[in-house]
Copies of this chain bind each other. A is one copy, B any other.
Amino acid sequence: MTLDELNALPGVTAAPDAATREYVYNHTMIRVKDLARALDFYTRVLGFSLIEKNDFPEAKFSLYFLALLADRGQIPQDPAERHRWRKSMPGILELTHNHGTEHDPAFTYHSGNADPRGFGHLCVAVPDIHAACARFEQLGVPFQKRLSDGSMKDIAFIKDPDGYWVEIIQFTPVA
């Protein structure tokens, strides 16, 4: 589809209000049961960096902000500067940890992919999806959909420790 065709679809404002010009789609927040397991998955398996942590002890929750960066040297060392930086750029992942949920064996969060549905997934793009999926297999990461499953042979879905789906795609056409 051309951009003109996309911009003519019902509902689309082709030339948005100038007021929105500097708006940034900064982050997505998901709740996680076991913070250490979630941090392990997002940093070790997917390569995110933890860039900020905010505690709210009276309300018994903490927020963790992660970014997936090719160049980690760009992360500001100074906490105040790092705080402004993480609020100003796209592609941040926020994990909310309600303290103590990790100690309740029956506690689970809802992935959004069974009733009642809503949120679907996060997606990480990779340069080589065959290599990435082979690595995930080696690391014992659970798959929701392997490359070979179903009709779409160029995408996969893995699951994070809370069961949220993470789609894996490749930047370029999959051979």
CA gap between A53 and B92 in the complex, in Å: 24
Asked if A100 lies at the interface with its beta carbon under 8 angstroms from chain B, I say no
Chain A interface, >50% SS class: mixed
A6-21 interface bits toward B, Cβ cutoff 8 Å, 1 = contact, 0 = none: 1101111110110111
B residues less than 8 Å from A17 (CB atoms)? 44, 47, 135
Q: How many copies does the complex hold?
A: 2
Indicate if the CB atoms of B25 and A122 lie closer than 8 Å.
Answer: yes
Q: Offer 16 A-B interface pairs, CB within 8 angstroms, sorted by A.
A: A3-B51, A11-B39, A12-B39, A12-B43, A12-B50, A23-B68, A23-B124, A23-B132, A25-B68, A25-B93, A28-B122, A30-B118, A30-B120, A31-B120, A109-B117, A111-B118
